[in-house]
Structure 1
Amino acid sequence: MQGVQLVVAAVLGLQQPIVVPPVAPALALDALHAGAWQDEQDPTDSLWRAARQAFDRGDYTSAANLYGDLTRRYPSSTRAGDALYWAAFALYKNDDLNQARSLLVTQQRRYPKAATLRDGNALLARVQTALAKQGDEEAARWLSIQAQPPQPPESPEVGRNAAGQACPDEDDDDDVRIAALNGLLQMDATNALPILKKVLMRRDACSAGLRRKAVFVVSQKRGAETEDILLNAARNDPDSECRQQAVFWLSQVGSDRAVAALDSILRTATDPELQDKAIFALSQIHQGRAGEILRNYAANDRSPDEAREKAIFWLGQERSPENAAFLRALYTRLTGEELKEKVIFSLSQMGGDDNGRWLMEIALNDREPVEMRKKALFWAGQTGTNLDQLVGLYDRMQNQEMKEQLIFVYSQRHEAAALDKLIRIAKTERDTELRKKAVFWLGQSHDPRAVQALMEIINQ
């Protein structure tokens, strides 16, 4: 009894409020304009602060004027180039696209070392796209020029460029080029798709990053040609990440051809990540043979267990009687505990009376491994199995571990009957370890009846 009382005393101690000493307030950092608060002697400081405050409150006209005034009055200051970007951004927010474009071009020409230059280039692509949609010929020409892929080096080596040097960082150029391609695709897909195909046909080592971005841009346009491009990239691109992205975006196509290609990739791929993407893509296609392919793969003993687990998981996310019946039947044929556990979890996610009854059958089956029984019992409790059934089960259960699991299941149910059962176990259970478990979980409850029960146990 002393051991149980010590546990109760400790539990009650944990329920007392903890007094936290006051903490001095920390200084807030300005994330929007990192480094904006410079030396007080900086003559641009007051203008910068006023412009920032105007921008933050949505007064974009005032913000653009103040940022522009800073650049005009202090063109050689360290903030001048960044002020042009923020002025252009404010104008963009106000739909003053022509003036925004002018300021961004000025930033590129006069302030090539500005901290916001890369953001400015990306914003310029957005501005040009918006202008091109309005019929601006200059913007349309800019998009077409920027969208053109760069010339690949001759005789490239894997991982190095033609000069034998490591690939340069092309992120800035690639980001602008991809933004331009995306804009061109939105307004003129006929001209954009051939350019994207050229990008994806490149095989020089330094083009992999650009090809990955191009796959995403292609995926944003629906149509037969889009499907052809994605299928080709999924099957033939030498870059693993590029293939994975193409497979992922095939889920948005959903045609019979796409499903057949995903089936082939799933069965023949040796790259586990590519298989994972194929499984996910098939799980997102709710028509045709996609579900059948996933079920066949999950049932195939020759498939890798980790990939089968993922197939089982995604089958559980598609709540259909067909998938539920398949998973219940599959469980009886499985030998690996991890696969069995995944089936239990997937059926619990589906919900439904049939699956709830099945979980309880597994929990009560003495021939099942105790870990599987415990997991089935836990998920049965989580998915709304009748509490009266769970409460009545404790006294009939002989297995110690299963009784411990039942105590935990009661603790996760917030009905009065579950708390009543925990109190009875804490007061009357002959097994000291089980009583301690019940006492512990009573201590996690904020119900006054739990506190009263713990006090009564201490005073016994």
Structure 2
Amino acid sequence: QPVPLEGSNAIAILFRVNNNTVEKIRGFSLACPLDAGGLPFIWLTGVPAQSSLAYLEKFATSSAGDLAGSAIFAIAQHSDPAADTLLARLVRPSEPERTREQVAFWLGASRGAPGVAALKQILASDPSDRVRDKAVFALSISKQPAALDDLIHAANSDASSHVRSQALFWLAQKAGKRASETITNAIRNDPDTAVKKKAVFALSQLPKDEGVPKLIKVAQTQRNPEVRKQAFFWLGQSQDPRALAFIEQVLTK
């Protein structure tokens, strides 16, 4: 049989029902063969997006654990713009923290520009450090160019030192001039030593030609001894000849 080079761009949302109660929600590509194991299978077609979303919302807001998470995933797979509106509603501060965390992930993973706009709003107004932490990660996996701007803003300005640290870490995974400038700026200017140390670690995650010279500069110029010590540690871990030569020079002075 011919093997398709591209998978289906459509999925089916399946509900496992037992005793009139939905126990599981799963999404499968329409190209995926399904085996119901001999159980009765009812296939519904032509369901309007609005009806599908309204039905899934009930599980996203009133269920616990995997069922709620599966409903949120299924909502995020809808191409209809109404899904963006629903997800933005589910991520309001009045919703449970766990719901907001799960929604934040899918906003970055699959909702494009509207998702980034919603994540920006989370960073601006959500009172939970945990939710804003998830929003920072979601921005790091978004393919939208605007996500980088919001990630940089979080690294510079979030009220939580933990969220700023996480933003710096994810910036390092993206590399690039703007990312490295934000990281070095945090080492110079962030008031929290823990954030400075996380920024030094972030430098160690940059490509070596970019990160090693910056780590050497931190080791040479940083006044905070804890931060300077961190720079020396990551220089040693790099096994880069420039780093080892610098450390040898310092030790033999």
Taking structure 2 as the reference length, the TM-score comes to: 0.75
* Distance in structure 2 (CA, Å) of the matches to 1:146 and 1:311: 41
Q: Structure 1 residues 346 and 184 mapped into 2: Cα distance closer, same or farther (>3 Å)?
A: closer
* Distance in structure 1 (CA, Å) of the matches to 2:196 and 2:96: 35
Corresponding residue of 1:310: 166
Matched, 1:277 2:146: no
* Distance in structure 1 (CA, Å) of the matches to 2:195 and 2:114: 30
Matched, 1:372 2:227: yes
Matched, 1:241 2:89: no
SS for the counterpart of 1:175 is: strand
Corresponding residue of 2:36: none
Indicate conservation of the 8 Å contact 2:91/2:103, yes or no.
yes
* Distance in structure 1 (CA, Å) of the matches to 2:241 and 2:102: 41
Indicate conservation of the 8 Å contact 1:222/1:253, yes or no.
no
Corresponding residue of 2:116: 259
Corresponding residue of 1:291: 148
* Distance in structure 2 (CA, Å) of the matches to 1:185 and 1:198: 21
Gaps of 5+ in 1: 1-132, 134-139, 151-172, 397-460
* Distance in structure 2 (CA, Å) of the matches to 1:203 and 1:319: 36
* Distance in structure 1 (CA, Å) of the matches to 2:46 and 2:97: 28
What is the root-mean-square deviation of aligned Cα atoms in Å? 3.2
* Distance in structure 2 (CA, Å) of the matches to 1:198 and 1:294: 33
Q: Structure 1 residues 362 and 322 mapped into 2: Cα distance closer, same or farther (>3 Å)?
A: same
Indicate conservation of the 8 Å contact 2:93/2:126, yes or no.
no
Corresponding residue of 1:382: 237
The letter of the residue matching 2:120 is D
Indicate conservation of the 8 Å contact 1:316/1:350, yes or no.
yes
The letter of the residue matching 2:100 is R
Q: How does 1:143-292 map to 2 (within 5 A)?
A: 146=17, 173-176=21-24, 178-179=25-26, 182=27, 190-191=46-47, 193=49, 194-201=51-58, 207-209=63-65, 210-235=67-92, 238-292=95-149
The structure carrying a bigger strand percent of its residues is 2
Q: Structure 1 residues 335 and 202 mapped into 2: Cα distance closer, same or farther (>3 Å)?
A: closer
The letter of the residue matching 2:196 is K
Q: Structure 1 residues 183 and 377 mapped into 2: Cα distance closer, same or farther (>3 Å)?
A: closer
* Cα deviation, residue 249, structure 1: 0.7
The letter of the residue matching 2:207 is G
SS for the counterpart of 1:191 is: coil
The letter of the residue matching 1:175 is E
Q: Structure 1 residues 196 and 363 mapped into 2: Cα distance closer, same or farther (>3 Å)?
A: same
Deviations 1:136-167 (A, max 9, x none): xxxx9xx68949xx7xxxxxxxxxxxxxxxxx
Matched, 1:394 2:242: no
Indicate conservation of the 8 Å contact 1:144/1:184, yes or no.
no
Q: Structure 1 residues 277 and 343 mapped into 2: Cα distance closer, same or farther (>3 Å)?
A: same
Of 196, 199, 203, the residue aligned with 1:347 is 203
* Distance in structure 1 (CA, Å) of the matches to 2:84 and 2:60: 21
Of 317, 333, 336, the residue aligned with 2:192 is 336
Of 360, 366, 369, the residue aligned with 2:216 is 360
Q: Structure 1 residues 293 and 215 mapped into 2: Cα distance closer, same or farther (>3 Å)?
A: same
* Cα deviation, residue 201, structure 1: 4.1
Corresponding residue of 2:7: none
Deviations 1:198-241 (A, max 9, x none): 2414798x534543331122234445343333233223773321
Gaps of 5+ in 2: 1-10, 32-42
Q: Which moved more, 1:349-358 or 1:290-299?
A: 349-358
The structure carrying a bigger helix percent of its residues is 1
Taking structure 1 as the reference length, the TM-score comes to: 0.44
Indicate conservation of the 8 Å contact 1:363/1:373, yes or no.
yes
Deviations 1:113-144 (A, max 9, x none): xxxxxxxxxxxxxxxxxxxx9xxxxxx9xx68
- Choose 1 or 2 for highest CA Rg: 1
Indicate conservation of the 8 Å contact 2:60/2:68, yes or no.
no
